[in-house]
Amino acid sequence: MTAVMSLCCGSALAGDKNKSLGFNVSFDYFGKYIWRGQNVNDDPVFQPSISAGYADLTATIWGSFDLTNYNGNSGDFSELDYSLNYTSSLPGFQLVDFSIGVIYYDFPGSTIRDTTELYWGLVFDLPLNPSITVYHDVDEAEGSYVSLGLAHSIEKIAELSPDWSVGIEIGASLGWGSGSYNKYYWTTDQGKMQDLRLAISFPVELRDGWTLAPNLNYVTLLSDDIRAADTYRTESDYFFAGLALSKDF
């Protein structure tokens, strides 16, 4: 279940106006797997991805690999997501980019049914880069999830050596689920503000185009009804760390 704050599925390649084929690989480690406020895995996970982009189109395969037997899938992928994303400037609006796409969620070795989401999003070239992304599940949940986001980055805040520099990326997202969406995931049939996510990352530019990014994340459920209906854990506030290694080709 790929994160919204990365603008859907390794979209660093999306919106590249150079009409040449490019690739991105990422190898991420997180202390927990929290998706839209849901504690999918309370233990550490490994989440690799690979993306291929051409002009404004990006295709991504993303996976979540369980490192413990928390969900009975130790040493195996508990989730594989396949996505296709198109990003471009909104015609007539120089300060607005739009994205449209589709995500197919596959849960191998699980009783969870596969599902599909269509989405669209807008990112505004303004201070804090405000964004909105709307996901609509057209398969199992048949409901919508809306994410409002803010993000800011500074390319260089420190220099470890002539070859290594450190930046900072700060992001926040606020999620709302429709009644049918919340009924499927939370067993409450009312539209509610769902989750708040805060993240800070310190990307380190390494040699040969590799980037290493330690990060800290905080997620909390906002609705008392959703907290009471949380079938994933009795806790509804999560703080966890991660480490991401990535490279563009």
Q: Name the residue ranges covered by the structural domains of the chain.
A: 4-248
Smallest Cα–Cα separation from 166: which of 153, 180, 177, 155? Answer: 155
Q: CA dihedral in degrees (5, 116, 107, 54; nearest 10)?
A: -60
Neighbour-count burial of 211, counting CB atoms closer than 10 A to its CB (0-12 exposed, 13-18 middle, 19+ buried): middle
**Could you tell me the CA-to-CA distances from 102 to 59, 77, 78, 82 in Å, in that order?**
10, 21, 20, 8
pLDDT in tens, 133-178: 999 999 999 999 999 999 999 999 998 888 788 999 999 999 999 9
One DSSP character per residue, the chain reads ---GGGTTTTGGGTT--S-SEEEEEEEEEESSEEETTEEEESS-EEEEEEEEEETTEEEEEEEEEESSSTTS-TTEEEEEEEEEEEEEEPTT-TTEEEEEEEEEEE-TTSSSPPEEEEEEEEEE-STT--EEEEEEESSSS--EEEEEEEEEEEEEEEESSSS-EEEEEEEEEEEEE-HHHHHHHHS--S-EEEEEEEEEE--EE-GGGEEEEEEEEEEEE--HHHHHT-SS-S--EEEEEEEEEEEE-
pLDDT in tens, 103-145: 999 999 788 899 999 999 999 999 999 999 999 999 999 999 9
Give the phi and the psi of residue 40 in degrees, each rounded to 5: -70, -40
Residue 82 has pLDDT above 50, yes or no: yes
33-35 vs 38-41, strand pairing mode: antiparallel
Q: How many of the other CB atoms lie within 10 Å of CB of 11?
A: 21
pTM: 0.88
pLDDT in tens, 56-65: 999 999 999 9
- Work out the average pLDDT over 183-189: 89
Least confident of 9-13, 18-22, 175-179, 197-201: 9-13
**Domain covering 4-248, topology:** Porin (2.40.160)
pLDDT in tens, 213-231: 999 999 999 988 888 876 6
